[in-house]
C-alpha cells in the first residue's frame, strides 16, 4: 500500500486530514458563537484556519469568499517579522490589521495568530481574522467613506504580541479600550478570536499526541499536494488564451471618479494569470484595495472555475499568478485610505468574472449586484444615551445563467454564509421601523434567462435624529449581460423626507436624518443571459403571474402582446 516517506499509511493520512477539516469547522463555530459584533455573528465577516509551519493553509473555515488569501499572509508576516530563532514562543498570540502587508484588508479586519508547538518545535499556526465593529477612527463603526489617509481610519496593530508566553499584554488591551467607541464589544470580539485560537491549538495538539508529529506533518504535505493536483486537473479543461475586460468604479466617496479597472486573464495548461496592469492609480477616497486583497479575489475566481467543492488548502493556488504594479486602486501603497476597500475588491473579482464568463459558462453566471450595498444608520438612544448603529451588507439580484434565471435576493459573491438581519431584530435593536422588504420590478436584467430581482428595503426613522452612510457600488454602471442578455439595474439609496423631497445616494457619509424620514435601499437586479426575444412564452407568463416583471416590460422588452395573465 501507498505510504509516505516516513512510513505513515494512506488511511492514517486520510483520517488526519479529516480531523484537520473538522478542526477548521470547529474554530469557525466558536468564533461565530462567541463574537460580539453583528458583522461576525450574523454577516460571518470572518475566517479561521490553520497552517503548516511554513504558513501554508491546511484547514480553513470561512464564511465569505473575500478572506481566502489573507490568513496565510498573516502567518507568513509573523514568520518573517519574528524570524530570529526563539523569537516565537509557545503561548504567544500576535495581532495585526495593517492593510498593506500581512494579509490585512482594512483596519476593521483584525487577525490573531498563534503558533502551535510540539516538544519545543513549531508544527503549525492557528489563525483567524474578523471584522470588529469598532476600532476607532473618524466615524462611528470605523468604516468610513470620508477618510483620505489611513490615519483617520482607526487603531493600527502592526503585528505585535497581544499575548506573550501565555500572559496577556494588558498594555495593548488598555490601548484598545481607550481608542474605540464601544470597548465592551471590541474586547468581546478579541476574546472570541482568542477562544477560537485556543480551541484550534488544543485540537492540533491532540492530533499530534495521537498520531505523532511526523504523521501530522506528512498529512499536511499530502493535503497541499492533493489541492494542487485537483486544481491542475481542472485547469487543463479550461479554454486557453487571453481574455480581457474592463469596467468602472463609480466614485471614491469624495466625489471623484469614475475609475477604470482593467484585467487580462491568460489561461495556459499550467498557469492562470490575472493581470491588472493599466488599472487606475490609487485614489484619495477610502476605496483603495491592497495587493493581497487582489490576490484573495483572484483565488476566489480561480476556485470558482476550477475546484469550487474541494475544501480550501494552500496547494490549490500554486498555478495562480497575479500581476499588478504597485500603487493602483487595487494594489494601494501607504498611506492610502482603505476603509471601504471591499468595493474595489469586489469589482476586481467582478471584472475577472466578466473576462471569462462567456468562455466558461458551465461555471459562471452573468453580472450581479457586485457590491455589499452597505448602509449604516446610527443614532443615540435619548433615554440611556447609548449609541445604536445598524450596519451591514444587503441582498440583491444575481445574473442569469445559460440555462437558468438568476438568483433573487442573495448576497454578493464577496459574501457567502452571510445572513441578513431579520426585520423583527432590526426593529428591536434600532430606532427604525421596516416598511417593506420585497422584490422590485425596476426595468432591467432581461434575457432568454432573466437576472434575479433586487430588493426594495424601506426604513422609517422613528428616533428623533439619525445619521445615514451609504457604501453602494454599481449605482452608475449596472451588472453586465452575457450573450445578448440585457444589463441589470443599478443599486442606490433614496431618502424621502416628510415634505416629499428626495435625494439619491451611492457612496456618501454623515447624511442627517430626522424622525419620519424614509430610507429606501434599491439593490441591483442581476443581468440577463441570451436574447430576451428567445424567452419562452410560458416563462414570461409565469413572470407576469408572479409579478417578477411588469406588463409593460413583457410588451416592450420581450415582445409579448395579448397576455391575459394579470400580475398578482
Partner 1 sequence: MIRVATDIGGTFTDLAWCEFNPATGTVGPVHDWKCDTTPGDLAAGVMDVLSQAKISIPDVGFFAHGTTAVINAISERNGAKVGLITTKGFRDVLEIARGNRPDLFNFRFRKPPPFVERYLRREVDERANTRGEVARPVDRKGLAELVAFFKSEQVEALAVAFLHAYANPTNELAAIEMIRELWPEIPVVASHQTTREWREYERTNTAVLSAYVAPVCRRYLAGLETRLNTAGLKKSPFIMQSNGGVTTVDRARANPIAIIESGPASGVLGAAALAQAMGRPQTIALDIGGTTAKCSLIDGGKPTITTDYYIEANRENPGYPVKTPVVDIIEIGTGGGSIARVDEGGKLHVGPQSAGAIPGPVVYGRGGTRPTVTDAHVLTGRIDSTKVLGREGRADMAAVRAAYTELGRAIGAGPEETAEGVIRIADANMENALKLVSINRGYDPRDFSLVAFGGGGPLHAATLAAALNIPEVIIPANAAVFSAWGMLQTDVRSDHVRTATMRLDSVDPAEAGRLFADLEAEAQAGFTSEPEARVVLERAADMRYRGQEHTVRVTLPSGTVDTSQILDWAERFRQAHDRLYRIRLEVEVEVVTLHLTAYQPIAKPKLIERKAPPASSDPARTGKRQVRLGGVTVEVTVYDRTRLVPGMRLDGPAIAEERGTVIIIPPGHKAEVDGFANLVIRTGG
d(C-alpha 56, C-alpha 349), whole Å: 23
Using alpha carbons, select from 410, 489, 486 the residue that is nearest to residue 448: 486
Q: Does 548 bind partner 1 (CB under 8 A)?
A: yes
Residue span binding partner 1 (CB under 8 A) among the ranges 102-110, 274-282, 359-367, 472-480 = 359-367
Say how far apart CA 129 and CA 192 lie, in whole Å: 11
What residues have CB less than 8 Å from 121, skipping those under 6 apart?
A: 213
Q: Give the C-alpha distances (Å, rounded to integers) separating 108 from 13, 97, 297, 346.
A: 38, 7, 18, 17
Closest C-alpha among 93, 100, 85, 68 to residue 295: 68
Query: With binding defined as CB under 8 A, does residue 353 bind partner 1?
Result: yes
Residues binding partner 1: number (CB under 8 A): 85
The separation between CA 246 and the C-alpha centre of its own chain, rounded to angstroms, equals 21
Q: Which is nearer to partner 1, 167 or 404 (CB)?
A: 404
What one-character DSSP code corresponds to residue 144?
-
Q: Please give the grid coordinates belonging to residue 97.
A: 490589521
Q: How far is the CB of 138 from partner 1 (least distance, A)?
A: 23
Q: Does 183 interact with partner 1 (rule: CB under 8 A)?
A: no
Q: Does 411 contact partner 1 by CB under 8 A?
A: yes
Any contact of residue 538 with partner 1 (CB under 8 A)? no
Which of 90, 435, 531, 541 binds partner 1 (CB under 8 A)? It is: 435
For the bound state, the minimum distance from the C-beta of residue 303 to partner 1, rounded and expressed in Å, comes to 4
Scanning residues 286 to 305, which ones bind partner 1 (CB under 8 A)? 300, 303-304
Q: Please, which residue, 437 or 480, has the CB nearer to partner 1? A: 437
Determine the Cα angle at 398 with ends 397 and 401, to 5°.
Answer: 140
How far separated are the first and last CA of the chain, in Å rounded? 65
Residues 191-230 that bind partner 1 (CB under 8 A): 191-192, 194-195, 198-199, 226-227, 229-230
Quick check: 38 binds partner 1 (CB under 8 A)?
yes
Question: What number of other Cβ atoms are within 10 A of residue 258's Cβ?
Answer: 14
- Applying CB under 8 A, which of residues 308, 325, 326, 334 lies at the interface with partner 1? 308
Query: What is the footprint of partner 1 within residues 445-464 (CB under 8 A)?
Result: 455, 458
The answer to whether the beta carbons of residues 444 and 335 sit under 8 Å apart is no
Residue 419 interacting with partner 1 (CB under 8 A): yes
By CB under 8 A, what part of segment 333-352 binds partner 1?
none
What grid cell was written down for 558?
420581450
Please name which of 290, 266, 288, 276 lies closest in space to residue 325, comparing C-alpha atoms: 276
> Residues 74 to 133: which contact partner 1 by CB under 8 A?
none
Helices (H) and strands (E) in the chain, counts: 11, 20
In whole angstroms, the minimum distance from the beta carbon of 115 to partner 1 comes to: 19
- Site stretch for partner 1 (CB under 8 A), options 142-150, 288-296, 396-404, 442-450: 396-404
Could you give the string, one character per residue 7-36, with x where binding to partner 1 holds by CB under 8 A and - elsewhere?
---xx--xx-xxx--x---x--xx-xxxxx
Q: Closer CB to partner 1, residue 19 or residue 345?
A: 19
Amino acid at each position: 500500500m501507498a505510504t509516505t516517506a516516513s512510513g505513515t499509511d494512506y488511511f492514517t493520512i486520510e483520517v488526519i486530514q479529516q480531523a484537520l477539516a473538522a478542526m477548521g469547522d470547529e474554530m469557525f463555530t466558536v468564533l461565530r458563537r462567541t463574537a460580539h459584533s453583528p458583522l461576525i455573528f450574523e454577516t460571518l465577516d470572518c475566517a479561521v484556519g490553520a497552517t503548516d509551519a511554513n504558513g501554508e493553509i491546511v484547514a480553513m473555515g470561512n464564511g465569505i469568499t473575500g478572506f481566502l488569501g489573507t490568513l496565510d499572509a498573516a502567518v507568513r508576516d509573523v514568520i518573517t517579522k519574528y524570524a530570529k530563532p526563539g523569537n516565537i514562543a509557545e503561548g504567544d498570540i500576535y495581532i495585526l490589521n495593517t492593510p498593506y502587508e500581512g494579509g490585512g484588508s482594512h483596519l476593521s479586519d483584525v487577525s490573531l495568530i498563534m503558533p502551535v508547538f510540539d516538544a519545543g518545535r513549531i508544527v503549525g499556526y492557528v489563525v483567524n481574522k474578523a471584522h470588529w465593529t469598532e476600532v476607532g477612527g473618524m466615524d462611528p463603526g470605523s468604516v468610513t467613506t470620508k477618510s483620505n489617509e489611513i490615519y483617520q481610519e482607526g487603531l493600527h496593530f502592526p503585528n505585535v504580541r497581544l499575548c506573550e508566553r501565555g500572559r496577556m499584554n494588558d498594555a495593548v488591551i488598555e490601548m484598545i479600550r481607550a481608542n474605540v467607541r464601544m470597548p465592551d464589544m471590541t474586547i468581546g470580539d478579541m476574546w472570541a478570536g482568542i477562544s477560537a485560537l485556543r480551541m484550534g491549538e488544543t485540537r492540533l495538539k491532540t492530533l499530534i499526541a495521537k498520531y505523532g508529529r511526523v504523521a501530522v506533518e506528512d498529512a499536511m504535505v499530502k493535503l497541499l499536494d492533493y489541492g494542487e493536483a485537483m486544481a491542475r486537473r481542472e485547469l487543463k479543461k479550461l479554454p486557453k488564451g487571453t481574455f480581457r475586460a474592463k469596467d468602472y468604479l463609480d466614485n471614491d466617496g469624495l466625489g471623484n471618479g469614475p475609475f477604470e479597472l482593467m484585467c487580462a486573464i491568460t489561461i495556459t495548461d499550467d498557469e492562470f494569470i490575472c493581470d491588472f496592469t493599466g488599472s487606475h492609480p490609487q485614489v484619495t477616497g477610502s476605496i483603495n484595495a491592497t495587493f493581497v486583497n487582489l490576490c484573495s479575489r483572484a483565488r476566489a475566481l480561480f476556485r470558482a472555475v476550477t475546484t469550487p467543492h474541494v475544501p480550501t488548502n494552500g496547494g490549490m493556488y500554486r498555478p495562480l499568478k497575479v500581476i499588478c504594479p504597485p500603487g493602483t486602486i487595487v494594489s494601494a501603497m501607504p498611506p492610502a485610505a482603505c476603509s471601504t476597500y471591499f468595493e474595489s475588491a469586489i469589482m476586481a473579482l467582478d471584472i475577472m468574472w466578466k473576462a471569462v464568463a462567456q468562455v466558461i459558462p458551465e461555471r459562471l453566471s452573468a453580472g450581479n449586484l457586485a457590491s455589499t450595498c452597505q448602509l449604516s444608520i446610527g443614532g443615540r438612544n435619548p433615554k440611556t444615551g447609548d449609541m445604536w448603529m445598524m450596519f451591514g451588507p444587503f441582498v440583491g439580484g444575481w445574473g442569469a445563467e445559460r440555462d437558468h434565471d438568476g438568483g433573487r435576493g442573495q448576497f454578493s459573491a464577496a459574501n457567502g454564509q452571510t445572513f441578513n438581519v431579520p426585520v423583527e431584530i432590526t426593529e428591536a435593536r434600532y430606532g427604525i421601523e421596516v416598511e417593506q422588504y420585497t422584490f422590485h420590478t425596476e426595468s432591467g436584467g432581461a434575457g432568454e434567462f432573466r437576472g434575479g430581482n433586487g430588493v426594495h428595503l424601506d426604513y422609517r426613522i422613528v428616533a428623533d435624529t439619525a445619521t445615514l452612510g451609504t457604501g453602494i457600488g454599481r449605482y452608475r454602471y449596472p451588472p453586465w449581460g452575457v450573450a445578448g442578455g440585457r444589463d441589470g439595474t443599478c443599486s442606490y439609496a433614496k431618502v424621502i423626507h416628510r415634505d416629499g423631497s428626495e435625494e439619491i445616494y451611492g457612496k456618501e457619509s454623515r447624511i442627517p436624518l430626522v424622525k419620519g424620514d424614509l430610507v429606501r435601499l434599491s439593490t441591483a437586479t442581476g443581468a440577463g443571459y441570451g436574447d430576451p426575444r428567445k424567452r419562452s412564452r410560458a416563462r414570461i407568463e409565469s413572470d407576469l403571474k408572479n409579478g417578477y416583471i411588469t406588463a409593460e416590460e413583457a410588451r416592450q422588452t420581450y415582445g409579448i402582446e395579448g397576455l391575459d395573465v394579470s400580475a398578482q
